[in-house]
Amino acid sequence: MKCFYAPETESHDPLFRLTYGKLQRNAEQAERAKLLLAGLDALSLSATPPPRAPRAALEAVHTTRFLNFLETAWDEWQKLPDAGPEVVPNVFPRAATSSYPETTLARAGWHMGDTSAPIGQHSWQASLRAADCAIAATDAVLAGDDAAYALCRPAGHHTSAEIAAGHCLLNNSAIAAARLRTAHERVATLDIDVHHGNGTQDIFYDRGDVLTVSIHADPTTYYPFFTGFAGETGAGEGAGYNLNIPLTRTTTDAAWLSAIDTALARISDFKPGAIVLSLGLDTHEDDPLMGMKISWDGLRRAGEKIAAAGFPTVIVQEGGYLSPSLTTSLQSFLSGFMAAKRHALEPN
């Protein structure tokens, strides 16, 4: 299986995070990449730097003004008096009649949905290269590969068309799905990150050509809090094409794997030409964000189930945070996934 990783993404190593009123170190640290690369190495998989993708691939899901903001935000922020080292908004628009602002400080509030995705000096370039990984994996699948893996960081599934949030800047999974749509009439996204894929949902919510499915911790008590409920099923032409499966934070393997079966059945009914798997490993019981209690065997079996569904698959890395278990979590999932793919190719 082809894998893609861009070392330039390590230059994004954010510091700021506000949790329960306390300043803490951001969870989306560059060290995550080393742990994930070690997981690939354990499976004898090598990661290739992706080529540079055209901006049009990003514009398929993101607004021009959002991309312009990400590109220029840090430089403009440094012009503010006594500016901090990262772009972190301190005001957010709420009125329905809000007008697009002219100042950098106000635009930060407009384009950033919370304080957990700070923009540093190299965040734009890192985000571009993360998107390049997703695009390269998509192109591999479009060229005939049955699956490909993109080691993307920063992650992307919380970012909508023009609002970044939750450690995410560019929505790599949505970019991949939009690119698959250039060759397939229908595409599905399956998000198994412990957090609801609210950005991906928002981007495709009124479309019937992209089915979005997310299995995640119940947002009643877990990020992103305001979306991810079962009643959100799509709107307009997208009515019925969004499926949320919220689970309790005490969820263990059996219930989680059953939810994956439900998700795959809906995807099978939809008959997509290919799928994007938003692979969050933060469901694991050792993950520091404590969203679920999934074992390594559960991750392996999830990989088997998703591969056995038989769809060409672009695997895009989402969450999974600093823990000694992160390496084995990726190894477990991909070992199950690749074993099932190999079995499918064996003669009967």
Could you give the residue numbers annotated as active site? 158
Give the Cα separation of 11 and 243 in Å (integer): 35
With a CB cutoff of 8 Å and minimum separation 6, the contacts of 281 are: 287, 299, 319, 320, 326, 329, 330, 333
Tokens of 325: 């278990």
Which letter does DSSP use for residue 243 in this model? E
Query: Taking a C-beta distance cutoff of 8 angstroms, is the pair 346, 152 a contact?
Result: no
* Cα 304 from Cα 300, distance rounded (Å): 6
**CA geometry: angle 196, 137, 333, nearest 5 deg:** 55
- As a whole number of angstroms, the distance between CA 60 and CA 112 comes to 20
Tokens of 168: 């995410």
Rounded to an integer, what distance in angstroms lies between the CA atom of residue 229 and that of residue 243? 9
Are 152 and 130 within 8 A, CB to CB?
Answer: yes
Cα dihedral sign for 77, 83, 87, 91?
negative
The stretches of 150-294 forming alpha helices (DSSP H) are: 172-180, 198-204, 253-270
Torsion of CA 186, 191, 192, 195, to 10 degrees: -160
